[in-house]
């Protein structure tokens, strides 16, 4: 079973990481998020769950306004071929979330370390980064340095690259 939102918060607390969370109606797209955001400070993310032809999986996290060239990104992220979006079944199996709730916090569910994590360099220049806490009915704000600690604590090695145009 995938971890719950409460289990995510407990994991973060065990690491000494605090987040602030804002509840809202379900958000499925960046446009939904922008329309209902309100006053949540920090960078807001767009998350791309990608796979190559050899079934290597990637979670690419960029600023919500970033443009990513999906025809060329495979050269940057070390994919074996061009990438496509991963199927919803694999998204649930690996990150424990559904389409519309893809989040870097889903790495807590990838206990086998099958998902390579790529963070856009421009996104990581922000002090605060926002993401869904395993549900698209809330947004959690975390310091970028704490986000890196979280990712490492899940057994992943975050790769910071300039992937956005």
Structure tokens at 141: 């704000």
The β-bridge partners of 6 are: none
pLDDT at 37: 61
Query: If you count them, how many residues does the chain have?
Result: 165
- Contact by Cβ (8 Å): 46, 62: yes
Q: Sorting pLDDT into bands at 50, 70 and 90, what band is 148?
A: very high
pLDDT at 35: 63
Q: Is the pLDDT of residue 9 over 90?
A: yes
Mean pLDDT of 79-89: 97
Outline where DSSP puts E strands in 67-158.
Answer: 84-85, 115-120, 128-131, 138-143
pLDDT in tens, 52-70: 999 999 999 999 999 999 9
pLDDT in tens, 107-134: 999 999 999 999 999 999 999 999 999 9
Structure tokens at 104: 């870097």
DSSP-assigned letters across all residues of 10-47: HHHHHTT---EEEE-S---SHHHHHHH--S--SEEEEE
The answer for residues whose C-beta is within 8 angstroms of residue 63's C-beta and 6 or more apart is 43, 44, 45, 46, 120, 122, 123, 126, 164
Q: Is the pLDDT of residue 136 over 70?
A: yes
Domains present along the chain, CATH in parentheses = 5-161 (3.90.960.10)
Residue 107's closest CA among 92, 89, 94? Answer: 94
pLDDT in tens, 11-56: 999 999 999 999 887 776 777 666 666 678 899 999 999 999 999 9
Query: For all residues of the chain together, what is the average pLDDT?
Result: 93
């Amino acid at each position: 079973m995938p971890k719950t939102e409460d289990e995510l918060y407990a994991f973060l607390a065990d690491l000494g990481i605090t987040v602030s969370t804002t509840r809202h109606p379900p958000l499925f797209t960046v446009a939904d998020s922008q329309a209902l955001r309100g006053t949540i400070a920090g960078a807001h993310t767009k998350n791309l769950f990608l796979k190559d032809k050899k079934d290597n999986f990637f979670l690419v996290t960029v600023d919500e306004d970033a443009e990513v060239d999906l025809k060329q990104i495979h050269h940057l992220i070390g994919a074996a071929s061009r990438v496509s979006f991963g199927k919803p079944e694999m998204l649930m199996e690996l990150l424990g979330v559904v389409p519309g709730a893809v989040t870097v916090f889903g790495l807590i569910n990838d206990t086998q370390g099958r998902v390579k994590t790529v963070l856009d360099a421009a996104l990581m220049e922000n002090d605060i980064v926002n993401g869904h806490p395993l549900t698209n009915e809330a947004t959690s704000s975390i310091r970028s340095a704490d986000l890196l600690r979280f990712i490492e604590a899940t057994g992943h090695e975050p790769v910071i690259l300039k992937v956005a145009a």
